[in-house]
Amino acid sequence: MKYLIGFFIILFSIAAFSNQDKLDFKSWSNTGQWGIFYRHPDSHFKILEINKYKEGYLPAFSYLINLFDLKNVDNEYCLIGYRWKKTKENNELERLMIVWKTANYLIHWNLPDEKDAYSYKAIIYGKPFIDMNESVVPYKETKGAQALYAKEGVIQLLEDCELHGQKITIKPSEVVDIK
């Protein structure tokens, strides 16, 4: 039995490393893009230091948890804000990204300026709202595709969120019964 388990571990390791070989970080970095963005952000910020997001994250995330029927498990998130300075070519820009680890989604979150009773639902309309199981492929496979994201870039963003983002866990007892 030990040998059988060891054999499966070796097979799993080989499969994981062979998938890593398909990634081309050098070609990806040569594009000048970073993460899922056209260039590297100039700075990070903490999303939950903004009052409307601090007050709105539990209803918004509870809405997703209920929608995806994940209310019986701990839901883990990493939140990170990105800022780009104004340049000659581009206006100043901010992006608030949510890594929903439990469901394997990457979400751009933007609460409406006007607060109403249903503001929490805005999260479902975030663009992009990326299913990382379906829409993330090696960079080589994204050429010409409109709805695919480079795995190399997504890995950059996930690692950056782990280093600089805010991590939260919503336990089943904390989920707001909201639909």
Q: What is the pLDDT of residues 97-148, one digit of tens each?
A: 999 999 999 999 988 777 766 778 788 878 888 999 999 999 888 877 778 9
Q: What are the structural domain ranges in the chain?
A: 25-174
Q: What is the pLDDT of residues 158-178, one digit of tens each?
A: 999 999 999 999 999 999 988
CA distance 97 to 78: 8
- pTM value is 0.81
Cβ atoms of residues 24 and 139 within 8 Å: yes
